[in-house]
């Protein structure tokens, strides 16, 4: 079944709806196939964060803003692109009385990647996660390194040390811990762009992002907030055995630089990269400098394998 996406109507890339199961839980997947490469240059899975579903994050349309859909941008460059809604978000099942924490999200990715690999024949995926999505992607990769060719962690956090956003969020930890879901609205979405460094995203993009998020959810699970405020670290860098890039926005309040550098030092694979993205705060694909982010990610995902390893 095909359905309209949040991407610009000017694109020629048609999205495809998919569904898979995690036990009794139904999970929604969205595919933008490659526009011009057979076989594709790679299969990309984008993993969303704590407060929004996948299509608003990765397949967004903003009038007058070219290439707002990162899925379309990568598809037009030969990649088969996918995203999925974690349990409790968007079109995926919201029926279980749980808070859908990081570990549960990694379970979703196991179910989703199993489906993608069977459906496409891809042996290993290029995985990108942002914020709590980066934690889910990293934990999934720790559990299933055989399914991941390259891993990109954007706005990642390891221990939480040096994170002003998490320090502020911990003040509401008792509230988050007392319930499975928290409300979101337009004002909340706007706060994502004002809390670190106002001005990094334009109003049209923020409004379109908020419209797309609220069309799918008026509340989201609390589990990722609880985990990031009280249970870090959740990932062991020494068990991330695939090529990895850490992408850190210049003004991102989630990820302390020293925290990330300590994580980076412990990554065992020799193909690893640490990139600070100038003029970026949080939600990098919705920033004014989004095309820079695309190019950083594309360079990492399209890097040729070394011919000599010593």
Residue 8, domain member (yes or no): no
Helix, strand, coil shares of the chain, percent, nearest 5, are: 40, 20, 45
How many angstroms from the chain centroid is the CA of residue 304?
A: 23
Mean pLDDT of the chain: 95
Residue 309, domain member (yes or no): no
What's the pLDDT at 12?
67
User: Per the structure block, which two tokens stand in for 159?
Assistant: 């221990």
Mean pLDDT value of segment 10-15? 74
pLDDT at 265 over 90: yes
- pTM of the predicted model, to two decimals? 0.95
Cβ atoms 45, 127 nearer than 8 A: yes
* Nearest-angstrom CA–CA distance, 114 and 4: 25
Mean pLDDT value of segment 249-272? 96
What's the pLDDT at 175?
98
pLDDT digits (tens, 9 = 90+) for 15-32: 999 999 999 999 999 999
Percentage, residues of the chain above pLDDT 90: 93
Residue 97, domain member (yes or no): yes
Count of structural domains, the chain: 1
| Least confident piece of the model among 4-18, 85-99, 173-187, 275-289 | 4-18
Cα distances (Å, whole numbers) of residue 114 to 25, 109, 141, 246, 272: 15, 8, 13, 25, 26
Ramachandran quadrant class, 100 (left: phi over 0; alpha: psi -120 to 50; beta: rest): left
pLDDT digits (tens, 9 = 90+) for 143-183: 999 999 999 999 999 999 999 999 999 999 999 999 999 99
More confident residue, 37 or 42: 42
* Nearest-angstrom CA–CA distance, 121 and 47: 20
Domain limits for position 95: 16-301
Among candidate residues 85, 118, 86, the one with its CA nearest the CA of residue 103? 86
The model's confidence at residue 4, banded by pLDDT at 50, 70 and 90, is: very low
Cβ atoms 277, 130 nearer than 8 A: no
* Nearest-angstrom CA–CA distance, 108 and 121: 19
What's the pLDDT at 38?
79
In eight-state DSSP terms, residue 7 is: S
**171 three-state secondary structure:** helix
pLDDT at 72 over 70: yes
CA angle centred on 116, ends 93 and 151, rounded to 5°: 100
More confident residue, 255 or 167: 167
Residue 310, domain member (yes or no): no
Mean pLDDT value of segment 181-189? 98
* Nearest-angstrom CA–CA distance, 295 and 307: 24
Residue 51, domain member (yes or no): yes
Residue 4, domain member (yes or no): no
Residue 123, domain member (yes or no): yes
Residue 117, domain member (yes or no): yes
* Nearest-angstrom CA–CA distance, 133 and 107: 12
Q: What CATH number has the domain bearing residue 98?
A: 3.40.50.1820
The model's confidence at residue 11, banded by pLDDT at 50, 70 and 90, is: low
């Amino acid at each position: 079944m095909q359905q309209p996406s949040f991407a610009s109507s000017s694109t020629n890339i048609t999205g495809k709806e998919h569904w898979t199961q995690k036990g009794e839980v139904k999970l929604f997947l969205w595919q933008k196939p490659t526009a011009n490469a057979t076989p594709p240059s790679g299969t990309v899975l984008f993993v969303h964060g704590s407060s929004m579903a996948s299509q608003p994050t990765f397949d967004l349309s903003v009038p007058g803003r070219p290439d707002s859909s990162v899925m379309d941008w990568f598809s037009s460059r030969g990649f088969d692109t996918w995203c999925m809604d974690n349990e409790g978000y968007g079109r995926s099942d919201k029926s279980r009385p749980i808070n859908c924490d990081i570990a549960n999200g990694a379970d979703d990715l196991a179910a989703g990647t199993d489906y993608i690999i069977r459906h496409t024949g891809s042996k290993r995926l290029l995985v990108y996660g942002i914020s709590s999505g980066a934690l889910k992607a990293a934990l999934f990769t720790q559990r299933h390194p055989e399914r991941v060719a390259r891993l990109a962690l954007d706005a990642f956090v390891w221990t939480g040390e040096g994170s002003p956003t998490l320090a502020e969020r911990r003040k509401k930890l008792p509230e988050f811990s007392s319930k499975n879901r928290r409300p979101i609205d337009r004002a909340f979405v706007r706060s994502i762009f004002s809390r670190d460094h106002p001005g990094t995203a334009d109003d049209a993009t923020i409004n379109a992002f908020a419209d797309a998020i609220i069309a799918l959810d008026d509340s989201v699970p609390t589990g990722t907030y609880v985990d990031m405020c009280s249970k870090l670290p959740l990932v062991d860098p020494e068990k991330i055995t695939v090529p990895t890039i850490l992408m850190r926005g210049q003004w991102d309040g989630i990820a302390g630089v020293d925290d990330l550098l300590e994580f980076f030092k412990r990554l065992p694979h020799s193909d690893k990269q640490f990139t600070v993205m100038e003029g970026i705060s949080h939600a990098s694909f919705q920033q004014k400098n989004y095309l820079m982010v695309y190019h950083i990610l594309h360079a990492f995902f399209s890097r040729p394998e070394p011919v000599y390893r010593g």
